Structure 1
Amino acid sequence: MRIAVTYQDGKVFPHFGHTEQFKLYEVENNQVIRSMVIPSTGFGHGALADFLKQAGVQLVICGGIGGGAIAALNAAGILLKAGVGGEADLAVQHFLEGKLPDVVPVCSHHAEGHSCGNHGEDGSCGHHGTDGSCGEHCH
């Protein structure tokens, strides 16, 4: 399995469509056997899904993500774990241990072409509850 994590300075980057790089993890028998950082420069929201599909990615782990990007990943057959923050390596380990929740926090305004503007250092949106529910700014 190949996993891609939005990546910056060792951490999960907080917004899928704005990430400048991904860290790719090759996983066999539920163990990471190698990893590498690749640039995503020059790719937009929709093109990132095609880029990742061509790279053989089967799962994306990211912070926030918009509805258009979710749809593009779904169409490409790529699984998604969103609303994740902290260390990228630890996020992958948590996934392999079954500890990442199936929550996809998405605000309707992400689809309008702008970001939430309140992403925390841990990659969370800052307006979503721990259960993935939206705060008062979401529709």
Structure 2
Amino acid sequence: MIKMKIAVTYDNGEIFQHFGHTEQFKLYDIENGKVVASEVVGTNGSGHGALAGFLAEHQVQVLICGGIGGGAQNALAQAGIKLFGGCSGNADQAVEALLEGQLNYDADVKCSHHDHEHGEGGHQCGNHGCGSHSCH
């Protein structure tokens, strides 16, 4: 049996667009390519770097999120968590798309108004607009 745990930055059913500010993750237990359970967990105020540790404590192997800064990307990599960033829309649909190999994500995701153009490469930073917030 192949088991995996996927986390999605979560806000009202949607993928939350600022990893470092997410207050909730939806965690999905996957067995043999299917979602068998899910739960929404609060981060208890953890932010930025602490969130990678939070995910590692919950045995998460994969993260789906919107915008994410370089420091958080490095922390996830050190924790062995595979990142699918630059995503937006419905969280449950994103997990299903990932399981089907159809998830539209940005391998070079950045969330910084200094070097990021919205809509670049067909990917968007979500409806919050990262230009008005610093996401790193």
Q: TM-score, normalised by structure 1?
A: 0.79
**Alpha-carbon separation, structure 2, partners of 1:131 and 1:21:** 27
The answer to whether the 8 Å contact 2:22/2:47 transfers is no
**Which residue, out of 9, 13, 29, partners 1:6?**
9
**Alpha-carbon distance change, 128 to 14 in structure 1, aligned in 2, over 3 angstroms:** same
User: What is the RMSD computed on CA atoms of the aligned residues?
Assistant: 2.0
**Alpha-carbon separation, structure 2, partners of 1:84 and 1:3:** 14
**Alpha-carbon separation, structure 1, partners of 2:14 and 2:54:** 21
Structure 2 match to 1:130: 121
Moved over 6 A (4+): none
Quick one: which amino acid aligns to residue 106 of structure 1?
K
Quick one: which amino acid aligns to residue 90 of structure 1?
Q
Equivalent residue runs for 1:39-78 within 5 Å: 39-78=42-81
**Alpha-carbon separation, structure 1, partners of 2:123 and 2:89:** 17
1:106 aligns with 2:97: no
Specify the SS of the correspondent of 2:118: coil
Once the two structures are TM-superposed, the CA of residue 102 in structure 1 deviates from its matched residue by: 5.2
Once the two structures are TM-superposed, the CA of residue 131 in structure 1 deviates from its matched residue by: 4.7
Ranges in structure 1 where 5+ consecutive residues have no aligned partner: 110-115, 117-124
Q: After superposition, what is the alpha-carbon deviation per residue over 1:5-64, rounded to whole angstroms, capped at 9, x for unaligned?
A: 000101100111111000000000100000000001321210100110010000000011
Once the two structures are TM-superposed, the CA of residue 128 in structure 1 deviates from its matched residue by: 3.7
**Alpha-carbon separation, structure 1, partners of 2:20 and 2:10:** 12
**Alpha-carbon separation, structure 2, partners of 1:52 and 1:16:** 12
Ranges in structure 2 where 5+ consecutive residues have no aligned partner: 125-130, 132-136
- Across the two proteins, how many residue pairs are aligned to each other? 119
**Alpha-carbon distance change, 12 to 30 in structure 1, aligned in 2, over 3 angstroms:** same
